[in-house]
Amino acid sequence: MNLKAASALEASLRRGTIAGVSGALGAGSFLMPSYGGRSLANVPATAAGLLGVSAPGIQPPADVCYWGDLGAPVRRVVLMLVDALGYLYLRPMLDDSRAGIWRQLADAGVFLPMTAICPSTTITSLATLMTGASPAEHGLLGYELWLRELGVLAEMLSLKPVYGAGQESLVSWGLDPARLLPVPTLAERLAAEGVASVGLVAGVHLDSPLSQALYRGAGRLAGYDDVGDLWQQLATLLETPPQRPELIMGYWGGLDTAIHLHGTRGGAWQAAWAAFTQAMARGLGTLSSRAREDTALIIMADHGFVDSPEDVAHDLDSDGGLRSACLVPPSGEARLAFLHAMGTQGLTRLYERLEADFAMLDAPVALKAGLFGPGAPADEAPARLGDLLAIARADHYLDRLDRRRRLRGRHGGLSPEEMLIPWLAVRLDA
């Protein structure tokens, strides 16, 4: 593990700018996504390149420092996404005596920081990883989105109305999961290049509409029960020689759950990380030399996190002035909100209500400047972003439905804690 190289790259990422955005944000500790080759958006093309194929039409691969030392193309790439495992939290953990398997992998491969995308949230990151498209291109721009085509504020992970009773499904309203992504999936693109795709998904989400959309074109989807079963199923997959080049995509959300419920306090996220570490060590430890042959393992995250103290919440439900300034309810993320203003007076009131704790940015300007990535925006992207972005300073956030009383950690914003994510890549036959 080259700590000097990692530190130099982190410093460079912190200095990154986006013309037309960085200056407009003003004072504050904001870190820009580095879409040019040092971000999550560059991972799909990197995985394809490691398999010896190209996937035309997607964002370019990561800079060579992330994968150049892995050698010749491999037959298998395992891409394991650990939800919410921020780089600034993982890096100190690698010095812990319990981090043996992490240190072994990092010393044998490449361990570096890269940036999340904007916003730094799971739904947007999954859509980018599963398509190779930027957030602007695929249009799944946040956890909650105003879907003008259905006239509803929707929660995009479960595809349900935000203000519904919890049973309604947007699919029953007419949303076609097959059309949720307006771009081809990575599995579809790789299939055209002779590469098979396999998804390892939590069993409760295996048949969900979102999984159907994200893994469209994948040859196989397998559900797992817990983190131990995840690694056991992966080991079983690896023991079967692939008939053609293969990408295995795994996801684990236990760490993210612990962080949302407890934040950084109480040891909950550390316990979740330890459980993942133990399961990974057991799973990798059982692999035969045949299973390891020509196989690259990538472990990364979609975002980091920050604590969300209850006393800094800006409560949307009790702020009549904010509600009256909005044409539709605020959407996006609690720490990077999309605001649709009620005319010029609405814009003025939004600034008055929020600019003390949020950097206010013209949404069309941010989209054109590339805050949500390069490429032609999806047809619905401008309507979903609205007029203004409210980007949280420090630990501030917008709250609704009393979530502040049960959510102690959040993400979605542009702080270094949220935006810096780890990249660990290693050949298992090294």
Please give the full DSSP string across 114-172, using - where no structure is assigned.
EE--SSB-HHHHHHHHTT---HHHH---SSEEEETTTTEEEETTTTEETTS-S---TTT
pLDDT of residue 422: 98
By the 8 A CB rule, do 373 and 59 touch? yes
Output DSSP code: residue 376. Answer: P
Q: Greatest CA separation found in the chain?
A: 67
- Calpha distance 410→263 (Å, rounded): 8
Strand partners, 425: 110, 298
> Whole-prediction pTM value?
0.97
The predicted-structure confidence for 91-129, as pLDDT tens digits, reads as follows 999 887 778 899 999 999 999 999 999 999 999 999 999
Beta-carbon neighbour count of residue 315 at 10 Å? 14
Question: What distance lies between CA 422 and its chain's CA centroid?
Answer: 12
The predicted-structure confidence for 350-377, as pLDDT tens digits, reads as follows 999 999 999 999 999 999 999 999 999 9
Nearest to 396 by CA among 15, 138, 29: 29
Helix axes 268-285, 254-262, angle to 10 degrees: 170
CATH 3.40.720.10 domain residues, the chain: 3-137+184-307+415-427
The predicted-structure confidence for 234-244, as pLDDT tens digits, reads as follows 999 999 999 99
* Class of domain 3-137+184-307+415-427 (CATH, top level): alpha beta
